[in-house]
Structure 1
Amino acid sequence: MLTLLTRTKSFRDPWVGSPALNRHWQLHRRRVQLAESLCRWRRLLRPVEVSDLQRDGVIAIRNWLPVDRFEALREEVEQAVADAERRHPITPGEQVGFQPKQPFPGGFDRFDGGTLNRFLHIDAAALPHAADFSGDPRLSRCSRQVIGLPQQARKLDIYLTVHGEESRTPDLQKELHRDTFFRALKFWYFLWPVEPQDGPFEYVPGSHRLGARRLQWEQRTADAAIHHQRQPDVSGSFRIHEDALAELDLPAPKAFTCPANTLVLADVFGFHRRGSALPGRRRLSLYGWNRPYPFLPITW
């Protein structure tokens, strides 16, 4: 039962996925509402200036760093990525679905179908410019806008995306989805330009708002996952067809193509996806996240 008060979102959990609790008490909807109320409380305790991130659920900030700092950071990260590829050559993904982590010293690979996600951990001694990035107070201000909590420096990795061949090994991250039943922050600081063929991040503006229609959709989708297994096994990360957005009074997804030195931040309670890309295309970024315990009533 204690899992009900944690971040657990998979309906394979006997309590979270209880047919009786969801049928008679609408358990999923109540967890969503409680998490939202506590998030609002945390934001009230430490209010920050409202921005497009709060209004739309997503924001792209160009020229995040001065040119000299950006170039030094990019050079440092590119060298780390090249060194890792020499030690651990990149291979294509051959299996459908989400695959487990493949750890190696200093990081890990994980495949989403044919798409490779390579994460490299940041050692402050070896990567001082990357380590300095995580201490930027602007990141904490953005994090407070979404979840009411500051950003933690350790929640940052180097992230290389290598797109696979979609016809044989489709990437489930390229389907519209929301990550969690509560508000969480993700951000990508792009070190290379992101063009349409690179699979840009896509987001449905305003889809992070929790209104009556969204609550009804959440419970309906939970019921379908529990009783009919209509959702794929993505650990409670709900999918939605683009055609269904109009039922929630939502617009079409927006693709965030951008130049290098752009920071894209998103509340991943909103609907988003990895855009379509040409096979073999690469994106390079610093990737950060802040996924709180949803039922935490305090801030700092």
Structure 2
Amino acid sequence: MKALSYLNAPLWVLGVFGAEKSYRKNPILGSPTLNRWGLHRKRVEIAEALAAFRRQRLAASLDPQQRSFFDANGYMVIENFLEPETYAALLRETSEKIFPAREMRQGQTVTRMTPLPPEVLDHNPGLAAAARDPRAKAMIRYAASQGGQPHCFLQTVIAEPSRKAKDPQTDVHSDTFHATAKAWLFLQDVGEEDGPFCFVPGSHRMTPERLAWEYEQSLSASSAKDGHHASGSFRIGLDALAGLGLPAPVRMAVKGNTLIVADTHAFHGRTPSERPTIRAEVHWHHRRNPFLPWTGLDPIALPGLREREMNLFLAISDLQERYLRQQHIWRDVGAVALRSQAHV
């Protein structure tokens, strides 16, 4: 490690008390000695306890049956989520118009992100009704165990199975060490052959077996060959799930207008698509500092920032790439149709 790298030591220390997860970029988090002494395990235990505490405060916002199903399984599935006329308006707007977008390629899959700032939502009532739906936000907040403003954008997943490079998101994995949420409102049917989302029911719970597994992974994660594993998004083989007392992943082939909300601290993935596919969805994700005891006080929810967070993130990333030579993964492809072919 270069001597100048140690100037980052204060940031490494602060990262221990936040959502930072990379064992490779943060040598404190990645220290085999500190993790042998229980650093990662203690972070997981504290984050789990605080997530349970925050969910108690958020529980009243959910339907009791939905909450009970989530508590047991770690996800929720709601069919026919939007009213027919609202869903029809959403499909019309996303089919007829073009929007500024970014794309990233991961092996044989391209993901397109279309931000939804107020100036887009205010001119597209179907999109606005979906993105701002209070029921969706309540479920996402509960799954993430966090109040505040979930990030929302249109997402297009373009699968090109003729390419040989592997999509790393098809490995069953956990996004991070603490409760965090993603949600998808599908804008068309997703069949079994279309690479549907898969999820391991009950894997959001920190059982003694899961905690022991987390501990074992922390001892060698910093030197893992898999870069995603080394960055704190732990991969797990299907044969290892049974050893943790967990079932095989459930493949979620769904009809259009179905909402899935999941705690992606649980094991999940994107199954490989058997044919070229282009699918689109309204997508949310919600992740905050797992060590906060409160559910409010989210700066992104403030007027002027709310619904602009994705554009702000992209602008900062562009500046870092231009002036600090820190290349980021989201490439600007201009204004494109939601279901157009990949541009990267």
Aligned to 1:69: 86
Give the Cα separation in 1 of the matches to 2:128 and 2:191: 27
Instruction: Give the whole-Å Cα distance in 2 for the aligned partners of 1:126 and 1:108.
Output: 21
**C-alpha contact (below 8 Å) 1:164/1:280 kept by paired residues:** yes
After superposition, residues 13-52 of structure 1 pair within 5 angstroms as 13-23=26-36, 25-48=37-60, 49=64, 50-52=67-69
Residue 151 of structure 1 and its aligned partner are, at CA, apart by 5.5
- Cα distance in 2 for partners of 1:27, 1:166 equals 43
What's the CA shift string for 1:4-52, capped at 9, x where partnerless? 01111010111111222112x2111111111111111112234333231
TM-fit CA distance, 1:275? 1.1
Paired with 1:203 and 1:148, the residues of 2 have a C-alpha distance of: 19
Question: 2:110: which partner in 1?
Answer: 116
Partner of 1:196: 192
Structure 1 gaps of 5+ residues are 85-105
The match for 1:97 is none
Residues 50-88 of structure 1 show CA distances to partners (whole Å, capped at 9, x for unaligned) of 2312220112110001111101101111223xx35xxxx
The equivalent residue for 1:91 is none
* Residue identity in the other structure for 1:211: T
3-state SS of 1:68 partner:
helix
Say which SS state the counterpart of residue 193 (structure 1) adopts. Answer: coil
Note the C-alpha offset of 1:230: 4.8
What's the TM-score, normalizing by structure 1?
Answer: 0.86
What is the distance in 1 between the residues matched to 2:132 and 2:275? 35
Asked if 1:79 corresponds to 2:92, the answer is: no
Aligned structure 1 segments of 4 or more residues deviating by more than 6 angstroms: none
How far is the alpha carbon of 1:149 from its aligned partner? Answer: 2.6
Q: Which residue of 2 aligns with 1:173?
A: 169
Deviation at 1:278, TM superposition (A): 2.6
Q: Describe the SS at the equivalent of 1:51.
A: helix
Q: Distance in 1 between matches of 2:17 and 2:176?
A: 14
Instruction: Give distance in 2, aligned partners of 1:148 and 1:110.
Output: 28
| Greater helix proportion | 2
Q: 1:151 to 1:187 in 2, by over 3 A?
A: farther
Between the aligned partners of 2:274 and 2:186, the Cα distance in structure 1 is: 18
> Cα gap change, 1:295/1:20 in structure 2, threshold over 3 Å: closer, same or farther?
same
CA RMSD in angstroms comes to 1.7
Counterpart position of 1:150: 147
Paired with 2:157 and 2:146, the residues of 1 have a C-alpha distance of: 28
Q: Aligned equivalents of 1:151 and 1:200: distance in 2? A: 28
Once residues 284 and 66 of structure 1 are traced to their aligned partners in structure 2, the CA distance between those partners, rounded to angstroms, is 19
State how far apart, in whole Å, the 2-side matches of 1:263 and 1:69 are. 14
User: SS of the counterpart of 2:33?
Assistant: helix
Give the aligned residue type for 1:116: V
Q: Which amino acid aligns with 1:19?
A: P
Matched AA of 1:67: P
* Distance in 2, Cα, partners of 1:160 & 1:148: 26
2:314 corresponds to? none
Residues 60, 256 of structure 1: 8 Å contact kept: no
Say which of 69, 72, 75 aligns to 1:55: 72
Task: Pick one of 135, 138, 146 that aligns with 2:135.
Answer: 138
CA contact (8 A) 1:190 1:285 kept: yes
Structure 2 length as normaliser, TM-score? 0.76
Q: Which moved more, 1:278-287 or 1:47-56?
A: 47-56
For 2:161 and 2:145, the matched residues in 1 are separated by 39
1:77/1:158 contact within 8 Å kept: no
Contact 1:119 1:160 in 2 (8 A): yes
**Contact kept in structure 2, 1:57 and 1:205, CA below 8 Å:** yes
* 1:269 aligned partner, one-letter code: H
1:185-228 superposed Cα distances (whole Å, 9 cap, x missing partner): 100000100001111000010111101000000011111213x5
> What is the rounded CA distance, in whole Å, between the counterparts of 1:180 and 1:166 in structure 2?
30
SS of 2:227 mapped into structure 1: coil
2:161, 2:273 within 8 Å by CA — same for their partners in 1? no
Q: 1:218 to 1:250 in 2, by over 3 A?
A: same
- For 1:11, the equivalent position in structure 2 comes to 23
Kindly indicate whether the alpha-carbon contact (under 8 Å) linking 2:108 and 2:163 is maintained by their aligned counterparts in 1: no
Q: Which residue of 2 is the match for residue 163 of structure 1?
A: 159
Counterpart CA distance in 2 for 1:282 and 1:129 is 21
Q: Deviations over 1:137-164 (max 9, x none)?
A: 21232134323333526x1111110002
Give 2:137's aligned amino acid.
S
